[in-house]
């Protein structure tokens, strides 16, 4: 059985803190032994704060890490709308004054290495990948909101990691400068699932934390509507954490292409019968999230 932490509450910082604390000594040992800690947040578009990792979720995580370990911490993303602006607009700059040895990094402008993913026709699509995501010796954490996605149904920890560590050149759109991945994926919605699964499989992260205090349904991953959900999930098996989150949203993990592909590639478990979460609490929390098609 894969153990998943599930905490409920309305105070985001406190609920994330409790979820992280309940990961126990395993997390503290990993944090102390790591050469660095990489917290991959989701800052896709700071004009839509609900779509982004809330600063209080980051604080809840840092409260635990900094109380038990002095390892350097890098908080980073490759935002669609611009990471530097997102750091400023969402208050992330304050973290450098609140905690020691914190670096904010724009992956859109950081070192990269070559990587690839397979298309639905199994052709290799060559891309650039943030070097930080590929380095050894680190504790890598994906901290992201719980939200729907018009292309993949659910945007959770694995999608946050894969898409935000994929480095692309900027382009000028009708709404300004953006860093868009869709030109590599527009031919087939299944391409999103292949890309997300393969990029995770090539370079995994260690800990998934999903902030569902205020979740998003409908036109996610950016323009959706708020759902007061009041829960945080965490665990060291990202595939299983995402599968549990998908189930809480009222979807079948088998219907999420990137989760199914990762299961088939032996990178995780998506069968809820093999994932250990508090059953009564789980059933009380479960909802049916609206998607872009109101399904």
Question: CA-CA distances (angstroms) from residue 219 to 30, 143, 206?
Answer: 37, 21, 29
For residues 47-53, average pLDDT: 98
Q: What is the pLDDT of residue 293?
A: 62
**What does the pLDDT look like over 158-214, one tens digit per residue?**
999 999 999 999 999 888 899 999 888 877 889 999 999 999 999 999 999 999 999
Residue 115 has pLDDT above 70, yes or no: yes
Distance (Å, whole) CA 44 – CA 162: 13
For residues 231-249, average pLDDT: 99
Q: What is the pLDDT of residue 25?
A: 97
Distance (Å, whole) CA 23 – CA 3: 10
Q: What is the pLDDT of residue 67?
A: 97
Percent of the chain residues past pLDDT 90, beyond the cut: 93
pTM confidence score: 0.97
Q: For residues 245, 160, 46 and 61, what is the CA-based torsion angle, rounded to 10 degrees?
A: 70
Tell me the average pLDDT of the chain: 97
**CA 187 to the chain's CA centroid:** 24
**What does the pLDDT look like over 79-114, one tens digit per residue?**
999 999 999 999 999 999 999 999 999 999 999 999
Percent of the chain residues past pLDDT 70, beyond the cut: 99
Q: What is the pLDDT of residue 295?
A: 45
Q: What is the pLDDT of residue 144?
A: 99
Domains belonging to the chain, first-starting first, are: 2-285 (3.40.50.11440)
């Amino acid at each position: 059985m894969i153990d998943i932490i599930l905490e409920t509450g309305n105070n985001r910082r406190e609920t994330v803190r409790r979820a992280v604390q309940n990961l126990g000594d395993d997390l503290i040992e990993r944090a102390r032994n790591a050469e660095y800690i990489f917290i991959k947040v989701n800052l896709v578009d700071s004009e839509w704060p609900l779509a982004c990792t809330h600063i209080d979720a980051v604080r809840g995580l840092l409260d635990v890490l900094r109380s038990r370990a002095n390892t350097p911490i890098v908080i980073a993303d490759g935002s669609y709308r611009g990471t530097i602006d997102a750091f400023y607009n969402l208050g992330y700059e304050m973290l450098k004054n609140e905690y020691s040895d914190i670096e904010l990094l724009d992956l859109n402008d950081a070192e990269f290495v070559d990587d690839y993913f397979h298309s639905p026709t199994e052709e290799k699509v060559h891309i650039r990948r943030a070097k930080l995501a590929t380095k050894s010796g680190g504790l890598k954490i994906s901290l992201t909101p719980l939200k729907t996605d018009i292309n993949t149904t659910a945007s959770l920890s694995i999608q946050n990691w894969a898409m935000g560590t994929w480095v692309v050149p900027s382009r000028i759109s009708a709404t300004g400068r953006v860093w868009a991945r869709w030109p590599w994926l527009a031919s087939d919605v299944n391409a999103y699932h292949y890309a997300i699964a393969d990029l995770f499989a090539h370079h995994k992260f260690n800990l998934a934390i999903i902030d569902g205090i205020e979740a998003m349904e409908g036109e996610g991953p950016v323009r959706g509507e708020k759902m007061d959900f009041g829960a945080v999930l965490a665990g060291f098996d990202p595939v299983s954490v995402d599968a549990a989150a998908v189930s809480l949203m009222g979807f079948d993990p088998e219907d999420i292409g990137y989760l199914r592909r990762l299961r088939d590639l032996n990178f995780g478990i998506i069968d809820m019968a093999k994932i250990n979460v508090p059953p009564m609490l789980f059933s009380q929390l479960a909802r049916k999230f609206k998607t872009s098609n109101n399904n």
